[in-house]
Every structure is written in structure tokens, then in C-alpha cells.
Amino acid sequence: MLSLVILLYIGPAILTIILILSVILLVIGIERIAVGIAMPSSPKGPRISNIGIGLAVIAFSIVLMQFPIFTSAILVVLAAIALLISGVSRIIQGFTNKISGSSRAFRIGVGSLSIVVAILVIAHPISFGLVLLASMISIVILISGIEMMALGISGRERFLIKSATKQ
């Protein structure tokens, strides 16, 4: 159900995720400051570093809250750069490794596809990148939910655990 909501309302879903993460970071920053203040018997260095890290995390979370679209675009572009590097690596592996023809072609094809998708995401991070990311995440959540329902209906366990007495 959640995956269908994300698919239908991609923009608000992404903004909600960013806001939730920024609130979590805000709480973590406050916690770091509290730890730094509440450590009176420890040396001054760790106390100051905890307070400094807390202030930096709070500042970062406020930036996330104020500019969620910009933040999501930056994160999507960073992911696209990683995908671009991965695509180049796959193409290099396809040409240099001594592997069979179909495996070589598959690596080169996947690498080329990765590069094309990465370039599209870098060129259009909001209109293409975020929509692609949210669609992929919601499809994965949908498939996972279907799997859990099928396992629940069939009555089988997802992971079989061998008991310590049975060997």
C-alpha cells in the first residue's frame, strides 16, 4: 500500500522522507550537544568535539529542512556520479577481463546503460532523477510486500532457523 502511495505522490513522498531525516538529524545534533555538556569529568577535547559535531549536525539538518528540493537534487546527482563510475568500470572490465562472449557483452551493455542513465540523471536531477529513484524504491517496496503476503498466506517461514538441539 505504501509503495502505491509513493508511486502516486512521488514529490510529496520525497519531501516527507527528507523532512523526517532532517528531524532525525536535528535530534542527533541535540543529543551530541547534551553529551558534550553532560561530560564534566572528561577532558575538554572530547566535550568540545561533541558540542562542535552537534552544532554542525543541527546546522546541516536546518539546511535540509529549508532547502529539501536542492538537497534531494544534490543527493541524486551524487548517486548518478557513482552510477557513472560504476558504468565506466563495467565497460573497462568487459574489455579487459578474459571472459566469455555473452558475459563480456552483458557487462559492456550494463555499463553503457548505467552511463546513459547517469548522464540523464545528472542532466535532469529533479524531473528525471527523483522520479526514477522514487519509482524504483516504491516498486521494490511493492515486490517485498507481495513476497511477505505470499509467505504469510502459504504459512512458510522466510528464513529457516535450525534449532540447536537438531543436528
Question: In the chain, pLDDT over 70 holds for what percent of residues?
Answer: 91
The pLDDT tens digits for 33-83 are 998 888 777 777 888 888 899 999 999 999 888 988 888 888 888 888 998
Give 162: exposed, middle or buried? Use CB within 10 Å, 0-12, 13-18, 19+.
exposed
Predicted model pTM:
0.61
Those residues whose C-beta lies under 8 Å from the C-beta of residue 134, and which sit 6 or more positions away, are: 6, 7, 10, 13, 14
- Taking Cα atoms as reference points, which of 6, 45, 8, 2 lies closest to residue 134? 6
What is residue 69's predicted lDDT score, i.e. its pLDDT?
Answer: 82
What is residue 157's predicted lDDT score, i.e. its pLDDT?
Answer: 63
